[in-house]
Each structure stands twice: as C-alpha cells, then as structure tokens.
C-alpha cells in the first residue's frame, strides 16, 4: 500500500526526531528483512540516518540470543556480572555506533534488541529514545 500511494503519511508529525535503524541479527542476517523497515521509516520521518555499518554488517546490540532478558528470568539485578558484561563488553560497540550517528531515536524491531538498547542508552546516559517502526508509523499516518 505504501508503494502504491494507498497510505497518507505526514512525516512532520515525527519532526523532532533524527531516526536511525538497528538491524537485528534475527531479522537481517537470518530473515533477510532489511529494506522494508527502511522504506516505511523514510516515508514516516523527515530525518532518517543510517548507522555505519548497517544491514548484514551491522553490529549486534549485545543482547543477542535473548541475553538481554536473562537477568529478569534469572532474577539477576543491575549489579550482576551479566548486566555489566552486556553494558561494557557485548553492547559497547552498539552504544558507540548509535552515539556517532547523532540520532535521537533508534528503531529496534526485535524486542530483545529494544530492551538491550534502552538499557545501553540509560547506562551511558545518552539522550536517545528507542522504539519500533510501528510507533513512528502510528504518529505519521493520517486517517
């Protein structure tokens, strides 16, 4: 519908955001879903900026394979070795990549990635919101 012009979108409804997109390992590398979310985002936001590298070369968020949700399942708190590992080791490259992009909104369609990236932004005190393609689409769509 987007390609055929069957949807009316107003990107200015997402005006305050410079948006970037995190390619989740399970969507991109495993599922080959790389262009479709970008197509929707470019139609929904006025300022889209790619991470570098991106697509199949994008960095993992550091919470891959469900690592980001293990602490809640195991009762691990923020003082745990696992949490510190996710923040300082496995997620550090993703934090640096997002910070270098200048974006103030990261789209993470995988909920493990979303949780990990939210925690990274909080841990490093980076003023970047994290959400989904649908949230930005919902703001931009005109009924």
Q: Which domain does 95 fall in, by range? A: 11-140
Query: pTM for this one?
Result: 0.87
CA 143 to chain centroid: 26
Q: Per the structure, how many domains does the chain have?
A: 1
Q: Assess if residue 91 is contained within a domain.
A: yes
User: Is the CB of residue 130 less than 8 Å from the CB of residue 108?
Assistant: yes
Task: Kindly give the confidence (pLDDT) of every residue in the chain, 143 residues in length, as a single tens digit, with 9 standing for 90 and above.
Answer: 777 778 899 999 997 789 999 999 877 777 778 999 999 999 999 999 999 999 989 999 988 766 656 655 555 555 667 888 889 998 999 999 999 999 999 999 888 899 999 999 999 999 999 999 999 999 999 98
What was the pLDDT predicted at 22? 96
Q: What is the CATH number of the domain that holds 54?
A: 3.40.50
Is residue 1 a part of any domain in this protein?
no
* Amino acid 77: pLDDT: 58
- Determine the pLDDT at residue 120: 96
- State residue 124's pLDDT score: 97
Is the Cα dihedral 22, 28, 33, 39 positive or negative? positive
- What pLDDT sits at residue 63? 83
């Amino acid at each position: 519908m987007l390609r055929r012009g069957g949807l009316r979108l107003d990107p200015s409804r997402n005006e305050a955001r410079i948006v970037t997109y995190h390619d989740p390992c399970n969507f991109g590398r495993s599922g080959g879903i790389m262009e479709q979310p970008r197509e929707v985002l470019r139609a929904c936001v006025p300022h889209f900026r790619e991470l570098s590298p991106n697509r199949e070369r994008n960095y993992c968020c550091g919470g891959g394979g469900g690592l980001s949700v293990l602490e809640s399942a195991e009762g691990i708190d923020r003082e745990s070795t696992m949490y510190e590992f996710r923040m300082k080791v496995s997620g550090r490259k993703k934090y640096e990549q997002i910070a270098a992009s200048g974006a103030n909104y990261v789209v993470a369609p995988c909920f493990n990635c979303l949780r990990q990236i939210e925690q990274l932004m909080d841990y490093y005190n980076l003023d970047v919101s994290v959400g989904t393609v649908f949230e930005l689409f919902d703001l931009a769509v005109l009924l």
